[in-house]
Structure 1
Amino acid sequence: MEIDEATRKFNEIFNPGLLEETFAVLKEQKRFVYYTSSDTAMKLLRNQELWFRNATVMNDFSEVSYGLELIQSVFSGPEGKRFREAVEGIFPDTISKADALLSEWERDWRLETYIACVSVHDRSEDQRGRLSMWRAYGDIALVVNNTPMIAVTDLLAVYSVPVLYLSERELTGYLSNITDNILINRSYLADLGQSVLVTYIHNMLFRFAIATKHPGFREENEWRLYYRPTERQSPMMKKEAVVLNRVPQIVHKLQLTNDPENGLYGADIPSLLERIIVGPNEYPYVSYGAFVDILTDLKVEDAHNKVVVSDIPLRTS
C-alpha cells in the first residue's frame, strides 16, 4: 500500500491516527464483516453487488447529522477558538473561506452521501459472530478480506474510512491534537498556500461529518464505505430507484468484480468472501444448506466449509 507524500502529510496533520489504523489492517491481516439479513445477503451474492443507501435512511438515524452537530458545538468552544487562531496565524481570513465552503456543501453532505457499513472482524468471532451485531443488524454475517478496503485509488470514486466514535469532550481532545499539528507544521502549510489549507480544513470537516458516531456504538468497530455521486461518478456504480422498508429511495449498486482498471481489486465473490456465519435463527441447518448452494453456484471453492453456523444460544423469537 503506497501513499503519496502530500496525502501522508495531510492525514498526519488533520486525521491523526487514521494512517496507523489503516496500516494495522494490512500488517495484522484484519478482515471485515458485513452483518445483514438473509434476504439481503442472498441478493448481494446472487447479483454480485453491494448496495449503498442514502445516509438519511440508515439504521442509525443520526448518520451525518451527529457529526455536523458535533462540529458546531466543539468549534464554537475554547478549543475551536484555538484552532481558528492557529489557522489564521498562517493565512488571515482562512476560516471565513472554510466556513463559506462548509455552508455551500453541508446540505449536500447530509442528503447526497451514500453509505455501506462493515465492521472489523476479530478471529475470536469466526465461529459465533458478535452478539450485539446479531441483535441489531440481522442473521447473516459475510466475512471478507481487506483487499478492496485498503486499495488507494480515485478510479472507483468509492472510499473507505474508519469511523470515529467521539463525544463532544473526545472531539475536543482530538481537535486539540490537530491544532498542535498545525502549529508544528506551520511553515509547511504556509508553503502550500491558502487555497490548499482551506481544502484541507474542508476535507477534515467532511470526515467528522460523515464518519463520526456516538461513542455508544463503539463496539461496532465500523469502517464506512461512502460514495458521493454529486462530486464524482463511479464507472462501477448502477443507480436504481427501489422500495425498501416501504420507503421509495435511490440506491447505488457497486458491482462486485475484479476490475483493477476501474479501481476494484479482488472484489469478485470467490476472491472477496472468506466465510459466511449463519446467525442464531430457528432453522440454522436449512440456512446453512441454502448458502452452501449459492456459493457452489458462484464457483466458490470448499463452499461447505466456508459456511458456519453461530454457536451462540440466542433465542430469536
Structure 2
Amino acid sequence: MSQEIEMSSQPSQVEQGPTAQQISDRFSPLYEEFQQNDLWMKGERPLLAHYTSVETLEKILKNEELWLSNPLFMNDLDEMRFGLTRGKAFFDQTDLEKTCGLDSATAALLRTDFNNLYSEYESKHALNVYVLCLSMHAADNTDGILSMWRAYANNGAGAAVVFDTGAIKTLIDDSPLVLTQVRYASTADRLQWLERKVADWCAIVAKGNIPQHMLYVPAYWLFHVILGFALSTKHIGFLEEHEWRLIYMPDRDRNKLLTEKFDYIVGSRGVEPKLKLKIAPLDGAISQFSFSEILHSILLGPSISSPLASASVFRMLEKLNKEYLKSKVHSSTIPLRHAWPI
C-alpha cells in the first residue's frame, strides 16, 4: 500500500512531537498480512486468463487494449461493497474513547478524519476505480475451466485470452495499476478479519502521542486497509475461479497517467464507465514488454470448438495482421454444447 503520507510543514523550532512519517510507520504492521500474501510482489508471475465473448476477443486483438470495468457495474458489486460497508460499520461501532483511550474531542476529530476519507472516496474516486478480472491458468491447460466458460464466456460460446505476466520483468513503485490475487473466506471469517484489524488499529492509536492535527494519518491507514480488503477478497464459494485482479487506483494516479483513458459504453444496463487500457508499456505505470510476449494463448470455448470456428478465427487473425498468433490458438475439448430445444 502506498505510504505517501504528506509531511506537515516543519516550524523553525525543534518539534517535540512525532512526525507524520513516524506515526505512519507505527501503522505499517496493519498491512503486513497483505504483503505476506502478495504473490506478485514476491516474484510470482502466473498465467492469467480473461474469459470473455468472441466480440470482445476481436476488440482486444484489433486494438491491443483491455477494457476495465467499474466495480459498481460488476456482478461482484455486493462482494466489494461488503468490505467497505462492514469495515466502516466496525469503526462506527467502536468506542474510541474507551478502546483507544482518547478524550471525547480527540475521538470526534479522528471520526471526522476517517469519515472525510470515506466520503471523499465515495464522491471522487469510487466511480473511477476500475477492475479487470482474471483467472489463474495452468500452462498445460488448453481446455479452460468449465465454470468460467459458463459464467463469463457466453456459456461456452466465447473465448479466453491467456496472458503471461512473466513478460513484465520490472515492477514500478507506486504504479496506479495493482495486480493482486483474490483471497477467499467465509462471511464469518471475513467479518472476524475486519473486526480484528479495527481492534489492532485501536491498539496502535492507544499508544498515544498522536497530535490532533495528525489524526489524519491513522485515519488514512485504517481506511486503506479496509479498501484493500474490499478490493481483494471474495466469498469462499467463488474459490474455483482462482481470481486475480488488475485494479486501477485513481488516488495513486497523481500524475494522471490514465485519466485520458476514461471512457464509456452504452449497453443493456445503460451507460457504463470504462477504462481503456492499452496492452503496452506506460511510463510510470507499466514496464517494458511486447504484445506478442504477454499474449500466451487464445482458447476457443467448448461450444464453438469446431474446425470451422478455428478456421474463422484464423481468418480474423489474418485480417488483423496477427498471423503470428495462429499457433497460440487452441480449441477447448470440454464436451459442452448448446442445449437443443425439446
Provide the TM-score with structure 2 as the length reference.
0.72
Cα distance in 2 for residues equivalent to 1:136 and 1:11: 40
Cα distance in 1 for residues equivalent to 2:297 and 2:326: 10
Cα distance in 1 for residues equivalent to 2:220 and 2:29: 13
2:327 to 302, 305, 314: 305
1:258 to 281, 289, 297: 281
What is residue 174 of structure 1 aligned with on the other side? 193
In 1, are the aligned partners of 2:69 and 2:275 still within 8 Å (CA)? yes
**How much does 1:172 deviate?**
3.2
What is residue 219 of structure 2 aligned with on the other side? 198
Matches within 5 A, 1:75-86: 75=91, 85=99
Identity among equivalent positions (%) equals 25
Between Structure 1 and Structure 2, whose CA radius of gyration is higher? Answer: 2
In 2, are the aligned partners of 1:13 and 1:181 still within 8 Å (CA)? no
In 1, are the aligned partners of 2:81 and 2:230 still within 8 Å (CA)? yes
Which amino acid in the other structure matches residue 241 of structure 2? E
Distance 1:174 1:184, change over 3 A: same
**How much does 1:312 deviate?**
1.0
In 2, are the aligned partners of 1:11 and 1:19 still within 8 Å (CA)? no
What is residue 163 of structure 2 aligned with on the other side? 144
In 1, are the aligned partners of 2:174 and 2:252 still within 8 Å (CA)? no
In 2, are the aligned partners of 1:142 and 1:273 still within 8 Å (CA)? yes
* Counterpart secondary structure, 1:254: strand
Q: Where in structure 2 are there 5+ consecutive unaligned residues?
A: 5-20
**CA deviation map 1:270-293 (0-9, x unaligned):** 121111111111453233334445
Cα distance in 2 for residues equivalent to 1:226 and 1:60: 14
In 1, are the aligned partners of 2:184 and 2:238 still within 8 Å (CA)? yes
More displaced 10-residue stretch of structure 1: 181-190 or 112-121? 181-190
Distance 1:170 1:63, change over 3 A: closer
Cα distance in 1 for residues equivalent to 2:187 and 2:134: 24
What is residue 58 of structure 2 aligned with on the other side? 42
Which amino acid in the other structure matches residue 173 of structure 2? T
What is residue 131 of structure 1 aligned with on the other side? 146
**How much does 1:183 deviate?**
7.8
In 1, are the aligned partners of 2:184 and 2:234 still within 8 Å (CA)? yes
Which amino acid in the other structure matches residue 114 of structure 1? Y
* Counterpart secondary structure, 1:200: helix
Distance 1:172 1:309, change over 3 A: same
2:295 to 258, 270, 273: 273
- Is 1:223–2:244 an aligned residue pair? yes
Matches within 5 A, 1:52-67: 52-62=68-78, 64-67=80-83
Provide the TM-score with structure 1 as the length reference.
0.77
Paired positions, count? 306
